[in-house]
Amino acid sequence: MSRRTLEDAEKRIAALKERGVPDSSLSRAKVFLYQARDAKQRGNMGLARASADSMRILIAKAEDDYAKAMERLKPYLASMRGKFQKVRADLSGLHQARLDSMMNIIDSLTAMSWLIAAEAQANVLDSMLPRLEFDQNRAEELRSRLPGTWVCTQKTTHAEDKSVNAVEKKVFSFDRDGKAKLVENKKGKSSPFLKEDWEFRSWGTWDLLGDTIHLFIERFACTRQQFEEYHKKNGKVWWEKKLHPTYDSTITDGSQDRWITFADLKKDFVRR
């Protein structure tokens, strides 16, 4: 048994793996390849030849199975793509985008002839279709109920320190054209050791994925950031003021994107 035999086997296994054949279908062939190489190095040529024979049989079977799979999968994937396109016509917005992202993966795998991997992804997407259709219907049901201004007000108090009194307010505005504006602020003594006075504003767009509101923030601004921290030393008490800079930033990386379920919006906010 020559080194070339082992190198050829290694290349054939690598080629199958590159085409998307799962490791589970190649694991036994790889074990016999390792045994053949190890036995050859130890001078046990009988075991090396036996392992190499088993290795060749398993690789040939994997190649034959792959060829048969290609014949079966090409029409199957074409059929599944037609099914996905039909469902896609009934979807919109984020639901259509989610289906498209999965279809793009399947198309990329198919273009590389990784049809086995493409089949696995197609089956995953197929199982997702009922949920996507349900979410689409749910989103359409909620879409007309969302536009308007929603306000959440939370008050902070302290059972032992009556001077603690801070109000945090969130105002979420959803326009019918898909625009969104968020104003969030807090002012007052939020703990025995901290006073806060800040406000942040966000602008962007909104859309629904099922019953979840997704907010895509394009601009984020801080109009004020003022804090006071309590200090006590050597019997002396004072509040240290800390002023942070304001800013107004364009957001392009999705770092300020947010989401909230419609149920949580109704629970925590009041529509004004």
pLDDT at 65: 86
Q: Which residue carries 């895509």 as its tokens? A: 216
Of all residues in the chain, what percent carry a pLDDT higher than 70?
100
Write the pLDDT tens digit of every residue in 186-216: 999 999 999 999 999 999 999 999 999 999 9
Task: Please state, rounded to an integer, the average pLDDT across all residues of the chain.
Answer: 94
3-state SS, residue 223: strand
Residue 5 has pLDDT above 70, yes or no: yes
- Judged against a pLDDT cut of 80, whether residue 178 lies above it is answered with yes
Handedness of CA 239, 245, 249, 251 (dihedral sign): negative
Report phi then psi at 35, rounded to 5.
-65, -40
Q: Which helix (H) or strand (E) holds 29?
A: helix 27-41
Average pLDDT value for residue range 170-174: 98
Instruction: Give me the long-range contacts of 231-235 (CB less than 8 A, separation at least 24).
Output: none
CA distance 188 to 190: 6
Domain ranges of the chain: 3-139, 148-271
Rounded average pLDDT over 50-55: 88
Identify the band that residue 1 occupies on the pLDDT scale cut at 50, 70 and 90.
low
Confidence of residue 233 (pLDDT cuts 50, 70, 90): very high
Confidence of residue 183 (pLDDT cuts 50, 70, 90): very high
Least confident window among 38-52, 74-88, 150-164, 178-192: 38-52
* Antiparallel, parallel or unpaired: β 258-261 and 148-157: unpaired
pTM over 0.85: no
Higher-confidence residue of 246 and 66: namely 246
* CA-closest candidate to residue 196, choices 186, 206, 205: 186
In the prediction, which pLDDT does 226 show? Answer: 98
**Alpha-carbon span 93 to 99, nearest angstrom:** 10
For helices 45-88 and 93-111, the axis angle rounded to 10 degrees is 140
pLDDT at 2 over 70: yes
Q: At what angle do helices 45-88 and 3-18 cross, to 10 degrees?
A: 10
Average pLDDT (5-30) is 86
Checking if the pLDDT of 20 tops 80, the result is: no
**Residue range 140-169, pLDDT digits in tens:** 999 999 999 999 999 999 999 999 999 999
User: In this predicted structure, what is the pLDDT of residue 222?
Assistant: 98
pLDDT at 36: 87
Q: How many CA atoms lie within 13 A of 38 on its CB side?
A: 7
pLDDT at 22 over 90: no
